[in-house]
A = this chain, B = another copy of it.
Amino acid sequence: MREFLIDGLQYANYSEEVFRQMREGGVDAIHVTITYHENFRETILNVERWNRWFEQYPDLIFQGKYASDIDEARRTGRTAIFFGSQNPSCIEDDIGLVEVLHALGLRFMQLTYNNQSLLATGCYESVDTGITRMGIEVIKEMNRVGLVVDMSHSSERSTLEAIELSSRPIAITHANPASWHPAGRNKSDTVLKSLAQSGGMLGFSVYPHHLENGTQCTLQSFCDMICRTADLMGIAHIGIGTDLCQDQPDSIVEWMRVGRWTKSVDYGEGSASSPGFPVMPGWFSDNRHFGEIAKGLKTAGMSADDIDAVMGGNWYRFFEASFVSQSTLKGRTN
């Protein structure tokens, strides 16, 4: 039996067609973003939208809550969908919502999305003050219930402090090494080494703004970068986190970047001349194309076992260790 195929982050405009592509591509599990700047009640509306999809397409997808659901997905030929948030807006100013959202299946939460949040500093702020007083408390609570700290859109100091403060391994679900492509969203070797030493995970992004030469990035360049990062971090700490935004209208990337925090336009990783979603590279544009990456890794000289680990095995073990509560880890079943 082949190893699991797991994507560490997507935010597509989901539809029956996309769900069918997941099955065609043999994707066992996906961490999907369900919310950015939405407050708690708005996030619940997004949960409801997913609930309707789960009800409409029970033969293609279902909600994943624990790693065992990935086994269930494989057994029943479906894709397990795990929820995540790219900003802490969904917990508003209320630490009690961490446990409530975990009970509803939230499994990853970024402490920031580009800007300063109540918890930490985003990667586009000019001053990085690290984890805030509330951030310290929220990380503790996330650790307790089994909600993974995701620092993909956070700044350097905040990320290093989150790694240090968190009693459980954290994730950078979708980013690449800045040494390969020096974008504000990509990560320094210091961060990547610290992440790996703490048992954390990096998901390699296929989003053009995170790639060397953007849309023109070659599969070989991407896979060579993965091999070098395996050398830097160790093979056990890397996976895929495509950041696939398939079929999204440009109004969505505007919401992601602008939310309700400014009345003017913020282009984020884009620019005035290219404000919309960038075109994906030819070798990866939907869920049927993971095989291309696996092939590219083989061409780059990676062993079959290591390719399995990168394509899903590592995420499986990380999900297994991360989503249960601390009391469950201690052997209490309730």
A interface residues with partner B (beta carbon < 8 Å) = 40-41, 44-45, 47-48, 51-52, 58, 62-63, 69, 72, 76, 80, 94, 96-97, 99-100, 103-105, 327, 332-334
CA A332 to CA B76, docked complex, whole Å:
10
Residue of B nearest to A96 (CB): B48
| Partner pick for A100 among B80, B96, B104, B327, CB 8 A cutoff | B104
Shortest beta-carbon distance from A33 to chain B in Å = 18
CA A104 to CA B96, docked complex, whole Å:
13
Q: Are B99 and A51 in contact (CB under 8 A)?
A: yes
Inter-chain contacts of A80 with B (CB < 8 A): 334
Inter-chain contacts of A44 with B (CB < 8 A): 40, 96-97, 100
Identical copies of this chain, number: 2
Inter-chain contacts of A100 with B (CB < 8 A): 44, 47-48, 51, 104
Q: Are B327 and A72 in contact (CB under 8 A)?
A: no
Inter-chain contacts of A52 with B (CB < 8 A): 96
Shortest beta-carbon distance from A102 to chain B in Å = 10
**Residue among A96, A100, A334 having the largest count of chain B Cβ atoms under 10 Å:** A334
CA A150 to CA B115, docked complex, whole Å:
46
CA A40 to CA B97, docked complex, whole Å:
13
Q: Are A97 and B48 in contact (CB under 8 A)?
A: yes
CA A311 to CA B100, docked complex, whole Å:
32
CA A100 to CA B334, docked complex, whole Å:
20
Q: Are B332 and A99 in contact (CB under 8 A)?
A: no
CA A62 to CA B334, docked complex, whole Å:
7
Shortest beta-carbon distance from A240 to chain B in Å = 24
